[in-house]
Amino acid sequence: MVRRMPRMQVYLPEELYQEVKQRGLPASELLQEAVRRELHRRELLAEADRYLEDLVDEVGEPSPRSVSRAETVVRAIRDRGAQAEAG
């Protein structure tokens, strides 16, 4: 069975267009994969939002102290990641 693939016109900034052409990359396949990954990423974000809403419904909003502690942990994790990349 032949699968119908509708056409879509896509615009790229000049530098991306040139990179794709210079490297001889298959633009259609690259764009398909990028769209698939972005759709998947957005679905995961939506699932995370639904989970957080359910969690808040179950246990309530976090206290300001809990939010502050979480932000401190996130900063520490980011700092360690930046140090690992630099070193």
Provide the percentage of residues in the chain whose pLDDT is more than 90.
86
Residue 9 placed within a domain: no
Report if residue 69 sits inside a domain. Answer: yes
Q: Phi and psi at residue 26, in whole multiples of 5°?
A: -80, 95
pLDDT value of position 2? 79
Q: What is the maximum span of the chain, computed from C-alpha positions, in angstroms? A: 59
Q: Is residue 6 part of a domain?
A: no
At residue 54, does pLDDT exceed 90? yes
3-state secondary structure of 25: coil
Instruction: Count structural domains, the chain.
Output: 1
Average pLDDT over residues 68-83: 94
- Work out the number of other CB atoms within 10 angstroms of the CB of residue 21: 10
CA dist 55 and 18 (Å) reads: 47
Per-residue pLDDT tens over the stretch 6-45: 999 999 999 999 999 999 999 999 999 999 999 999 999 9
pLDDT score, position 38: 98
Q: Structural domain of residue 69, as residue ranges?
A: 14-86
